[in-house]
Amino acid sequence: MTKVWLITGAGRGMGLDFAKAVLAAGDKLVATGRNPERVAKAIGQSENLLVVTLDVTKPTDAASAVKAALERFGRIDILVNNAANFYSGYFEELTPAQVDLQLASSLLGPMSVTRAVLPVMRRQGSGKIISISSTASLLGFEFCSAYSAAKFALDGWMESLQPEVAPFGIETMIVNPGFFRTELLTDESTQYAPSSVSDYDERRAQHLAFWKSADGQQSGDPAKLAQALITLVNQPELPRRFIAGADAVGMVEQKIALLQQQIDAYRDLSSSLAFDVKTQA
């Protein structure tokens, strides 16, 4: 059965690879972005394609995109919450406005789009919601506090959403990619905190050099991740989480080991915190 996908941030980076893979698979696609002309030019022409304006930080855009999708294709089977940006820097130097923008794009935006899509999927009695998260949602990284905050919250929201919508035949999946060669680290997608605290100068310079040098050198191939999504969507059941990339698997395994160490280190103390049982005469 031909599926109808709605992908946010489909005009560049990982979203563009997702869009191309969907069309190559013969499915129908609602490709969205803040600049629809750019999205259309990047993807190319297809009778199975609808390009719609969608800034995920604007709930009215989400409602309009869903309406346009239904008018063209009659249903929405798969939502991919992909659009995001990256505000990098030490927490003390990140401005409140930058933190708000990070949360708006990477947490509140996916929530807004999902809120607009859920009534459609409930009426259908089926649907899949995929949110592109990060390994930064499972491990906190220095210089990534705002980004990790948004992604940790995204994962928590998605995990909680699944049991809420499962009775309606709706499935969810969190994707935690490692380092993929996308446009996330370009000047268009990454904003850095202003340099305002001299105590961070040396480490800040090292991190800035690392992130700038990493752009275009990441090991992960987003086209292969796109094909992996097609494979997973066609499974009898969507996995609740997909750790994407060998580097991501390694980092998550380290986190699991660290959590076990933290449990074991204070197991007796942790287990001694219940109310004492009173003996009765």
Catalytic residues: 133, 147, 151
Within 10 A of 182 (CB to CB), how many other CB atoms are there?
Answer: 23
Q: In the structure encoding, which two tokens stand for residue 57, read together?
A: 């930080």
Q: Which of 144, 226, 138 is nearest to 192 (CA)?
A: 144
Q: Are 40 and 66 in contact (CB under 8 A)?
A: no
How far from chain centre, in Å, is Cα 162?
Answer: 15
Type and span of the H or E element at 6? strand 4-7
- The answer to whether 69 and 30 have CB atoms below 8 angstroms apart is yes
Token pair, residue 98, equals 């930058």
- Its sign, for the CA torsion 152, 153, 159, 165, is negative
